[in-house]
Structure 1
């Protein structure tokens, strides 16, 4: 169950961007270790990677109040230096209200306000300009003193018009933002420190509220975080005096604005934050925090100040007939561990909901789904039996929104967690009590009388080790079953390796490498696969078979001499115990006798070596695992330890699915895919499509309809596409230009955000900036996929995405190694040169 306050769920420091950071790697590591003091290693690494997943100018806009510059300048400078040392570039906009009031008082000028806006006459503007420059330099010098490069920017960023010259005098309303000045500062390796002064087109300086200036800057840059640093360290309830930890605008805004204590400046601030976040991508959020606790707010799930976010609207229902079954089935197929592991039938589970007394929660996008079983009597305790969320739901904090709703709806609740659950700490923080027996822990909250839970504890202790059912029909039966809720998702590769160790007899850390046999190694893909095995730290080439090359030495395998042989299906059967994986690198329609030889005669369906087929023969067979780890929950299926036959996806199909999958729920019509491949994709057998002379100054379209990759994409994505392939005059690589009609309007940045979220943490997928178009010459010989372009039409209802992939590597050999690693319990990227 994920109820993280914010941030993605599985991240690594390897993805940090340095952006001209002059700190050494060792210094950065030291700073990161210091961050561990305020939160767990996992939390810190999650947020570092999350913040580093966007362009450097899109990390955070930080508004600093004038009182902070007076009272906490050193603390603020230290906090900003910490961020810069780990490769982050916050953009600072500061005010100077208290300092200005002090100087106005000394000058005998009484501050005057209308509707909370300072009236700025010529003398006030003169003093304000002086104050802003002085305070700006003070912060810059404090940063430079700590070794952090910073650049003062007192003008040129904000263009404004008079807000109301007769009423407010020299007060501006921002009309445009020059982000290039800010970005150039970051490119030079310095933190931009901005005042909120603006200019009219003809050069007249105008005063602008710093909060408004920060908001306008954020509208243009669309950062992940907007931070308001004040001396209070958050927003506080006007009646109870308690700090507001989280505000979810989609759920709480209307009711919050009706509260009697929400008035004046508080009401204005909340409204401005609401309007700002409605303009920004849903992944953006606002934090109100003190300088002292900035690190805790940014790098821990619990935070320290007030986090304001849009959230997601979640609906309740007691009637399973109200559910969108197709979308729910897709959510469960891709994200529910019980479904992925084969222990739960979706159809049976959904049928059971219709006949039971349950409370069902879901959001409009079906990124989250939860079920609570009501008890059969008044003394019973409701039981959380299902909690499933996508990565998007976790990243956008939908899980946390749902938990708050559940707390409001149920005064008491119980749930069960496995001992290895990565969310165990979170459970303990939310529970009032717990009981551990064997490898599971029973949690509850809201239960004051322990006698109330005694019978449940007895059932839990008696059945914890033996239960297999997940169709919980009451709290008491749920305790008997002691089944882990579906939301408790683990993605530990070490756990997967342990499972494979038990079934296959070796672990990823074993000194004995996995032995791989390759059938049909003459082609280009076979050569690339041999090179990858040659560099693999945990695998070795056991056999390499090619009728044409029989008897010759395998020149691409250098660790020891391996000679080509001409193995028959009978030879594979006889070598069953000597090989951990057979790779079929044969043309379509040829490998079935070899597959049958490996499978037939095995003691059970799980007692033969792993088989990976590079052809299209088994990509449409349900009993074979389709091997695209980045999508559809396939990685989790591999890690279940039950995968023995893998169909490697096609090259065009891999690139096309990765280029379209993040938008598939928004398809309004048939996506159109224009694909061009290098002539290595036509194989080694001579033909017009791989003849360099024929291809010179030429482009050859082929298979204009019903190409096998078109069918493959449609089958596994669940949506039809129009695909037309071409052969170009270059040797290797594929370019895919995809036009996608959309059911709703998007900006280019919003589309890119969907891709960043979908592929966050994926080491073999690189999402480029809006407008950056990937090119074949940059992907040839590389092992990842690049996705970019993100051009949206004027109406915002169609987007063009461009992807590139090396057809021989991630389109074939690299993906084969990735799938073999996962199925054999090895490190997923072992032997693969990472970008």
Structure 2
């Protein structure tokens, strides 16, 4: 067996470098003829088709990693380098990792090798198979021997005889067939073993068969079954199984079987990710154009393809057989017809070196919203769009815009890949949205969509963020591009300079208006500064309209925040915990809660649906990590006449429009929106403190505010790590996520002002300090004026305390508010520094959750918050 250390090394190396961006070779042409374009460092233009650098994962940054692989074998390092050289993009790295970890070894690939390959390309074939073996993948190899049989028969003066393309196999021919199979099998096994590969010849005992037509074809078999045991035993023993396509009848008579047919039967049994046919042509050749067909999506193209004049005889039969095979395999399976030299690259990359055939999906085209079975189908898709996630527009707004314009929506059947093209507001149709999930990218459904766009639109343009992970894909499909302020304009089909000039001019104006100030975007948002996400502020709702008890259900209450929520509910005059769910703590008593004897459950989806259907819970608290709560929320939403409300403490819904999830920061958001919402997203701790600091000075800001934050180690959660290890933190300060932290995005999104955020972990347990440097309009503020602005802004807020001097962490720990102070304008009068402290577990999480619960259920906003722990002047 290949060394487990090697397998880990390959996989970890890929994981480590999966984040490398594609290196793009950009061809820049002169801009002198474009009157509305200036040449500068912020813009680039190309009129030639861009080709990604195929060596985008350089061996240089990998050198130290490869050199340190603890195998002590040069062939190991060679294998890693060979793998990385064959995988050219981040997407292909991800695809390798997905393949490597998602299937059993025998389900990776069935490879059918033509007899001519063994004769002419044995060295290349053995090298490719050895490579797969050394990275821990065990394809099932089945080979033919047609050319060798013909040659041997001719030497004996016997003319090969065929009917309907099937070799008539009499006794004499059968002896030659068996001879040749054994020779070629041994030849391949020997070549593999010389490369350090364990290979096992399996020349019989796999295929069970009856006579296909004994009178007509003689000793030719029709496969009735496949015995898996010899193959599985070979793989279990760490050897590649090398099969012939000889079969046996129940009585033991040996029969000849077409190798393509045998490979198909193997695929039906093992259901591999890939079925590979190696042949000397390297794919299916279009008889009209004489070019290789790179991709066939059967569901979309089969009927039309079979009508083509050049699709006849053997080609027609092969495509028909492949369709019959793939119709019953998982949709993730595909067939590749390739040259042996492209084997390893094709297995990992869908490189298109030969002909790739898969089921794909039929594509639908819609030009009216009424053509959707339900408008919710389109809404679900739009809610995955980044602009809508970030709140730059709502799904409802966008659908209204579509209804009043000319558009075409092209998508696959499950709506996992959707292209929306609009034609109303531009000289050239615009690919306005291209929304595809990760599976669609990995399985190249995106290519199918884009090929259809090419057929539907002779000209098209679209805009992509410069840091898009699939940027190489966009370059490869465009005929021109232009970069400005972190965005790239792409187009194809445009031949006249006047149209290009107009497109670039409009694009340049739109990028300038979308950035917050001069210069390149920081990259927090690819589309520049976003609009404020929440509405106008309203006064606290000190008095409630409800004095009836309400039941709360908590999912995931095992962490620090969950414990504090339980403690606050325990002291609340009306709230009662009805159910609390934690897989790890199932059966244990809920500590810190004295109103009733509650034990942890491990609530299933069905349990939650039952509780919701019977109206047992008035409000659910999702106290789960990011990307975990969605199945539970979906279960609640699916219950007819669902009445409960939800407060989500994760970041999953902080970027959803207010009509779906209210952003629960009462000091800055409209409390009426929070009160009437069924779904509330609880803000992050750093984000709460930072927004409270910056919001009063928004009209004075003239640049990029920078937030230096340090949290106690409780902010790193309960899962052991260096960031919550007191011994490691002793006399230490740990910076982390220095750019693009999710709180940076959250603060910028909801304030409508882009910020830079630098988080750290300190050696204390509880509490956050934030030092915020804010560029201001020169001469607009003094220390005293700033302090007065804050006091006026927060005069009615019981949980915001404004002081003149610098607030300290030790004063905020275990209290329920935010301290703001230390106002200091610099000597140049163009920058102010403000300091804030907040308890990350309370006002940064649990207390704010209780504020939102109180507003949602009609209680006084501060009900249940201990008075002696509320900051007061």
Candidates 33, 48, 51, aligned match of 2:96: 48
Aligned to 2:432: 385
Aligned to 1:361: 410
Structure 2 CA distance, aligned partners of 1:395 and 1:46?
8
Q: Deviations over 1:536-557 (max 9, x none)?
A: xxxxxxxxxxxxxxxxxxxxxx
Aligned to 1:163: 212
Q: Deviations over 1:502-530 (max 9, x none)?
A: x9xxxxxxxxxxxxxxxxxxx9999x858
Aligned to 2:423: 374
Aligned to 2:509: 462
Q: 1:815 offset after TM fit, Å?
A: 12
Structure 2 CA distance, aligned partners of 1:141 and 1:56?
22
8 Å CA contact 1:140, 1:150 repeated in 2: yes
Q: 1:301 offset after TM fit, Å?
A: 4.9
Candidates 218, 222, 244, aligned match of 2:271: 222
Residue 126 (1) aligns with residue 186 (2): no
| Partner SS, residue 586 of structure 1 | helix
Taking structure 1 as reference, are residues 111 and 33 closer, same or farther at Cα in structure 2, changes over 3 Å only? same
Aligned to 1:776: none
8 Å CA contact 1:435, 1:441 repeated in 2: yes
Aligned to 1:107: 156
8 Å CA contact 2:87, 2:93 repeated in 1: no
Taking structure 1 as reference, are residues 42 and 108 closer, same or farther at Cα in structure 2, changes over 3 Å only? same
Q: Deviations over 1:695-737 (max 9, x none)?
A: xxxxxxx989666599786643465479xxxxxxxxxxxxxxx
Q: Deviations over 1:429-457 (max 9, x none)?
A: 11111122221221111111222221222
| Partner SS, residue 330 of structure 1 | helix
Aligned to 1:751: none
Candidates 133, 141, 154, aligned match of 1:92: 141
Aligned to 2:461: 414
Structure 2 CA distance, aligned partners of 1:827 and 1:31?
40
Candidates 244, 247, 251, aligned match of 2:300: 251
Q: Deviations over 1:440-482 (max 9, x none)?
A: 221111111222221222222233132389xxxxxxxxxxxxx
Instruction: Structure 1: state its 5+ residue gaps.
Output: 1-9, 17-21, 470-483, 485-491, 504-522, 531-582, 595-614, 620-648, 656-675, 692-701, 723-811, 831-835
Structure 2 CA distance, aligned partners of 1:241 and 1:719?
55
Residue 716 (1) aligns with residue 716 (2): no
Aligned to 1:433: 480
Aligned to 1:321: 370
Correspondence list, 1:303-322, <5 A? 303-322=352-371
Q: 1:48 offset after TM fit, Å?
A: 2.0
Residue 397 (1) aligns with residue 425 (2): no
Structure 1 CA distance, aligned partners of 2:591 and 2:322?
57
Correspondence list, 1:454-493, <5 A? 454-467=501-514
Structure 2 CA distance, aligned partners of 1:154 and 1:24?
36
Structure 2 CA distance, aligned partners of 1:114 and 1:710?
74
Taking structure 1 as reference, are residues 411 and 684 closer, same or farther at Cα in structure 2, changes over 3 Å only? same
Q: Deviations over 1:586-621 (max 9, x none)?
A: 354725999xxxxxxxxxxxxxxxxxxxx999x9xx
Candidates 276, 281, 284, aligned match of 1:232: 281
Most deviating of 680-689 and 230-239: 680-689
Taking structure 1 as reference, are residues 172 and 299 closer, same or farther at Cα in structure 2, changes over 3 Å only? same
Aligned to 1:273: 322
Structure 1 CA distance, aligned partners of 2:89 and 2:261?
35
Most deviating of 192-201 and 65-74: 192-201
Taking structure 1 as reference, are residues 309 and 423 closer, same or farther at Cα in structure 2, changes over 3 Å only? same
Q: 1:239 offset after TM fit, Å?
A: 1.4
8 Å CA contact 2:482, 2:489 repeated in 1: yes
Structure 2 CA distance, aligned partners of 1:524 and 1:460?
47
Q: 1:242 offset after TM fit, Å?
A: 0.4
Structure 1 CA distance, aligned partners of 2:74 and 2:562?
45
Q: Deviations over 1:31-82 (max 9, x none)?
A: 2322333442524422321221211111000000000000000000001111
Normalised to the residue count of structure 1, the TM-score between the two structures is: 0.59
| Partner SS, residue 321 of structure 1 | helix
Structure 2 CA distance, aligned partners of 1:524 and 1:371?
38
Structure 2 CA distance, aligned partners of 1:432 and 1:593?
65
| Partner SS, residue 286 of structure 1 | strand
Structure 2 CA distance, aligned partners of 1:14 and 1:128?
47
Q: 1:401 offset after TM fit, Å?
A: 1.1
Aligned to 2:223: 174
Q: 1:111 offset after TM fit, Å?
A: 0.9
Q: Deviations over 1:190-221 (max 9, x none)?
A: 11111011111221111110000000000111
Q: 1:682 offset after TM fit, Å?
A: 5.2
8 Å CA contact 2:185, 2:242 repeated in 1: yes
Structure 2 CA distance, aligned partners of 1:430 and 1:166?
55
Structure 2 CA distance, aligned partners of 1:49 and 1:228?
23
| Partner SS, residue 244 of structure 1 | coil
Taking structure 1 as reference, are residues 184 and 384 closer, same or farther at Cα in structure 2, changes over 3 Å only? same
Correspondence list, 1:540-619, <5 A? 583-586=561-564, 588=566, 590=568
Q: 1:126 offset after TM fit, Å?
A: 1.3
Q: Deviations over 1:213-254 (max 9, x none)?
A: 000000111100000011111111011110111111111111
Taking structure 1 as reference, are residues 690 and 445 closer, same or farther at Cα in structure 2, changes over 3 Å only? closer
Taking structure 1 as reference, are residues 55 and 347 closer, same or farther at Cα in structure 2, changes over 3 Å only? same
Aligned to 1:285: 334
Structure 2 CA distance, aligned partners of 1:157 and 1:23?
36
Structure 2 CA distance, aligned partners of 1:123 and 1:436?
70
Q: 1:381 offset after TM fit, Å?
A: 0.9
Taking structure 1 as reference, are residues 344 and 593 closer, same or farther at Cα in structure 2, changes over 3 Å only? farther
Taking structure 1 as reference, are residues 306 and 715 closer, same or farther at Cα in structure 2, changes over 3 Å only? same
| Partner SS, residue 110 of structure 2 | strand
Structure 2 CA distance, aligned partners of 1:180 and 1:616?
59
Taking structure 1 as reference, are residues 196 and 26 closer, same or farther at Cα in structure 2, changes over 3 Å only? same
Residue 332 (1) aligns with residue 382 (2): yes
Aligned to 1:742: none
Structure 2 CA distance, aligned partners of 1:427 and 1:341?
22
Taking structure 1 as reference, are residues 689 and 196 closer, same or farther at Cα in structure 2, changes over 3 Å only? farther
8 Å CA contact 2:556, 2:581 repeated in 1: no
Structure 1 CA distance, aligned partners of 2:243 and 2:619?
52
8 Å CA contact 1:125, 1:207 repeated in 2: yes
Structure 1 CA distance, aligned partners of 2:188 and 2:301?
36
| Partner SS, residue 279 of structure 1 | coil
CA RMSD of aligned residues (A): 4.4
